[in-house]
Chain A
Amino acid sequence: MSFREVLESGKFVVTAEVGPPKGTDISEMVHHIELLKGKVEALNFTDNQSAVMRMNSLAGCAIAVEHGVEPILQMTCRDRNRIGLQSDLLGAYALGVKNVLCMTGDHVSAGDHKGAKSVYDVESVQLLRIVDSLNNGKDMAGNELKGGTDFFQGGVVTPEANPLEPQLMKFEKKIKAGAGFFQTQAVYDIAKFGEFMKYARKFPVKVLAGLVVLKSAGMANFLNNYVPGIKVPQELIDELKAAGKGKGLDKGIEICARHIKQLRDEGICDGVHIMAIGMEDRVPEIMERAGISD
């Protein structure tokens, strides 16, 4: 079954994320693809994440397809205009990519090419519309395609955004524009996320809770202070501290597994998206500890 079919079947879905390499050596990426094959339903390939130039996500996705893993193509609007985006989408579909995650993209000022000219010819909501149009056999200008696409397109939402209301307005616009699934920014306060899900359940979309594995109390504080839309509650920071020196990551993995278990057991959302950020090797262990092992 495809990622879409599994999601629609109501099974609790796990996706994870792989960042393509900065360079042409794909051995580590392939290692992670092989490691997560058969364990996760699909793998996201990031698109020059944090505006740091890397191998493109499309190549990562094509390599995943070769290795028998279903990819989710992350596509940002930062680096390509509407012609480039549509062209890459057609190419991705021809290479066997069936899922697209439409995002605006971190600003170039965050990355390693700060003098780059940002594009943002279109943005995430409009990109979702573009995918919808390609799915209907037409490009965004209304021209007929010789063979359309059949993408399952999704978006990102930040349940911890402050203020939240404008973010929810955008969430609803993304649904109007055709988003079928959402992968959220990292969430840590499961009760609060549950409140968000009560609202999100009003819409016909599947939501995967984003989870970033904490490695230490320091990392949690960093996320709280510098990363937009992430709020690690004080109890978790205390828990990481109490774990003692050198035990932060193990505790972080335990917390992540506990959250997955709770999200699934309480039916809070439709799945989780694990962003291990360098800890991809530990994802199988996280899933095992969460009681997901098929």
Chain B
Amino acid sequence: MIISRKRDFQELLENIKNYKSFFLIGCSECASLCSTGSEKEVKELSETLRAEGKEVTGGIVAKTGCQVLGTKKDLKPYKDEVNNAECILVMSCGAGTQTAVDLFEDKPVYATNDSLFLGNMTRFQVFDERCSMCGKCILDRTGGICPITTCPKGLLNGPCGGMKDGHCEVSPDIPCAWVRIYERMKKLGKLEELSGSVLDAKDWSTAQSPRALSAREKKGK
């Protein structure tokens, strides 16, 4: 999921200082799991804004904030509340924020969260980055552990000299991705596969932004 974190409230207040009334849009997917955009946070932010003397005309938790047409449908019953707000606050990830930008051409839209990374929730409210969405998966070559993401240098052929006791030079809290990969492949009896070949320089063209995809099946003529 997309991991998000609430922005500093004073920073948010500074961003929206010129506006008085707001409509809030949370998201029931990732942002809810990150506690940055569920029903609870939408309610809390409404109360906090009111305490700051702002008006909140209403709020919803979109089912999937990054889905433009679905969110448009979710917002339909709230036409008046949205119209009465000078400004839209989006409580999801950057994609959700830009859904609102698509839907509200004539209203300012502000993000209440910073989008951090694509990650896994390993324990309640604890998230790790696992995938960089580089566009060409190499997990089948590295025992299912992604070194592009979990090694700060994204190394493809083994640990660097900065590894210390199985941990990373960047932080002792980071386990060395290559020690993990090595140990896993050893356990699986697949070391030959790992050490046998040099992985070539990655083709980064698959990670060139902005990326787009149409997964629709082309209709035959």
Contact = CB atoms under 8 A, between A and B. Distances in A.
A173 B159 CA distance: 12
A170 B159 contact: yes
Contacts of A90: none
A163 B166 contact: yes
Interface stretch (B39-47, B60-68, B110-118, B149-157): B149-157
A166 B156 contact: no
Nearest to A230: B164
Contacts of B164: 162, 227-229
A234 interface: no
B158 A176 contact: no
Nearest to B152: A107
A106 B166 CA distance: 17
Given A165-B182, A173-B198, A176-B198, A228 B163 contact: yes
Interface string A128-153: 01100000000010000000000000
Given A107-B170, A228-B162, A229-B164, A121 B157 contact: no
Q: What's the dominant secondary structure at chain B's contact region?
A: loop
A125 B198 contact: yes
Contacts of A227: 164
A63 B195 CA distance: 39
A107 B161 CA distance: 11
Contacts of A104: 153, 155, 160-161
B165 interface: yes
A170 B195 CA distance: 8
A161 B159 CA distance: 10
Contact of B200 (A120, A126, A163, A166): A126
Given A82-B201, A104-B155, A185 B161 contact: yes
Nearest to B147: A123
A118 B153 contact: yes
Contacts of A221: none
A158 interface: yes
Contacts of A129: 198, 200-201
A107 B157 contact: no
B169 A166 contact: no
Contacts of A125: 156-158, 198
Please tell me the size bucket of the interface on A. 35 or more
B170 A123 contact: no
A173 B166 contact: no
B204 A109 contact: no
Given A107-B162, A161-B163, A228-B162, A170 B157 contact: yes
A77 B176 CA distance: 19
Interface in B128-158: 152-158
A173 B164 CA distance: 20
Interface core residue of A77, A82, A120, A156 (most chain B CB under 10 Å): A120
Given A166-B179, A169-B194, A173-B198, A123 B157 contact: yes
B52 to A, nearest CB: 32
Contacts of B169: 106-107, 110, 228
A14 B165 CA distance: 30
Contacts of B191: 169
Interface of B: 152-166, 169-171, 176, 178-179, 181-182, 186, 191, 194-195, 198-202, 204
Q: Which 9 A-B pairs give the minimum distances between C-beta atoms?
A: A170-B158, A228-B164, A166-B182, A125-B157, A104-B160, A169-B195, A122-B201, A120-B153, A126-B201
Given A165-B186, A170-B158, 16 more contacts: A107-B169, A109-B170, A118-B152, A121-B204, A123-B157, A129-B200, A129-B201, A163-B166, A163-B179, A166-B178, A166-B179, A167-B159, A167-B163, A169-B194, A170-B157, A172-B195
29 contacts: A104-B153, A104-B155, A104-B161, A107-B152, A118-B152, A120-B153, A120-B154, A121-B202, A123-B153, A123-B155, A126-B201, A129-B198, A129-B200, A129-B201, A158-B161, A161-B159, A162-B165, A162-B166, A166-B159, A166-B163, A166-B181, A167-B159, A167-B161, A167-B163, A169-B158, A170-B158, A173-B195, A228-B161, A228-B164
